[in-house]
Amino acid sequence: MRGRLLALACLCGLIGPGQVVLADTLATDISSHLVQISSSFTGTSLLVFGAVEAEGPGRRDVVVVLRGPERPVTVRRKEHRFGIWLNASATTYGGVPGFFAVATTRPLDQVAAPGELARHQLDIPYLRLEANTTTPDPAADADFRGALVRLKTAEGLYGGAALPVTFSAANLFRAEFRVPSNMPPGSYKVEAYLYRDGELVAAQSSPLFVDKSGLERRLFTLSRQRPAIYATVAIILAVAAGWLAAYVFRRP
C-alpha cells in the first residue's frame, strides 16, 4: 500500500525524484466520488478524511486541495466610451480551475516555504494561469488576474486556504468542503499533502466527478453533442404546445 501510494505520488509529479522520501504514509478518501447536479441541487458538502502514519519526530501538517476542471477563461473589462459602458479589452487565461479551495492544519505560510507552495499551486496566488496575450502589459495583466480571482471568489467558487483540517485522533484527520450550486461539472481532483517541518513527505490525489444528472444532463449533453436533434426536438415541443393551447382555449 505504501509503495503504491509513493508510486502514485511520483507519477503525479507531486514528489520529485530527487527528494528524500521519509517513511510517513498518508491515506485519504472522500465521502463521495460523484456529485450529481439535479434540478433541485443547492450545493453540498464533501468530507475528505484520512490517516497519517507518522514515523519519526517533527511537526506534521496536512494540506487538502479541491481543484475543479481546468478551462480557458476570458476576462473582459468595460470602459466608458461614447457615453456608454462597453467591453473594451479582454485577456484569455488557460488552465483556470473552475473550483479551488484549500484546507490546512495551520496557515500555509507556516506549513511550507513559498517556493514549495508555488510548486504544487497550493493557494490562489500560486495558480499558474497562462495569459494568451501577445503583448503582455504587466499592470493590466495584474488587474485581469485580480478580477478573475475576485469574481470567482464572489461566485463562491474560489475559497483560498480558508478551511481547517482537523485531527480527530492522533492520526485521523478530516476536512469539510462546502461546494455551491453553481459548481462547474467536470473532473475534480482532491489532493492531500503531508508535510513534516515544511518538507513534503507524502501526497495523494483522488478523483471526484461532478456531473449533471437526470433530464438536465441529457438535455445539456444533447444540446452540445447533437445540436441539430436538440433544436428539432425543441421546435416540435413548442409547436405541439402551441397547438395544444390553441385547442384548449379555442373559442366556440
Partner 1 sequence: MQIYLPIAELSINIFLLFGMGAGVGFLSGMFGVGGGFVMTPLLIFAGVPPAVAVGSAAHQLVASSVSAMLAHLRRGSVDLLMGAVMTVGGLAGSAIGSWIFGLLRRAGQVDLVISLSFVVFLGAMGTIMLFESAQVMLRGRDGMAPPRRKLHQHGWVHGLPFKIRFRKSRLYISALLPAGIGLGVGLLASIMGVGGGFIMVPAMIYLLGMPTQMVIGTSLLQIAFVTASVTFFHALNTQTVDVVLSMVLLTGSVIGAQLGVRAGVGMKGEHLRGLLGVLVVAVALGLAWGLVAAPADLFSLTTEAGT
Which residues are at the interface with partner 1 (CB under 8 A)?
Answer: 37-42, 70-80, 83-87, 90, 92, 96, 98, 144, 147-148, 150-152, 181-182, 184, 212, 215-217, 219-220, 223-224, 227-228, 230-235, 237-239, 241-246, 249-251
Residue 224 CB, shortest distance to partner 1, in Å, is 6
Q: Which of 25, 69, 67 is nearest to 46 (CA)?
A: 67
CB neighbour burial string for 169-180, b if at least 16 within 10 angstroms, e if fewer: eeeebbbbbebe
Distance of CA 168 to the CA centre of its chain: 26
CB nearer to partner 1: pick between 126 and 230: 230
Q: H or E element: which one contains 202? A: strand 199-212
DSSP-assigned states of every residue in 56-85: SSS-EEEEEEEE--EEEEEEEEEEEETTEE
Bridge-based pairing of strands 130-131 and 70-81 is unpaired
Rounded least distance, CB 220 to partner 1, Å: 4
Residue number, 4 or 224, with CB nearest to partner 1? 224
Closest CB 158 distance from partner 1, rounded Å = 11
Cell numbers 482537523 correspond to 166
Quickly count: other Cβ atoms within 10 Å of residue 165's Cβ.
Answer: 21
Residue 128 Cβ, how far from partner 1 at the closest point, in Å?
15
- Cell readout for 170 is 492522533
How far apart, in whole angstroms, are the C-alpha atoms of residue 99 and residue 186?
Answer: 10
Compute the least distance from the CB of residue 242 to partner 1, in Å. Answer: 3
Q: Helix 214-225 to helix 227-248 angle, to the nearest 10 degrees?
A: 120
User: Nearer Cβ to partner 1, position 18 or 249?
Assistant: 249
Q: And the C-alpha cell for 230?
A: 436538440
Tell me how far, at minimum, the Cβ of 155 lies from partner 1, in Å. Answer: 9
CB closer to partner 1 out of 160 and 186: 186
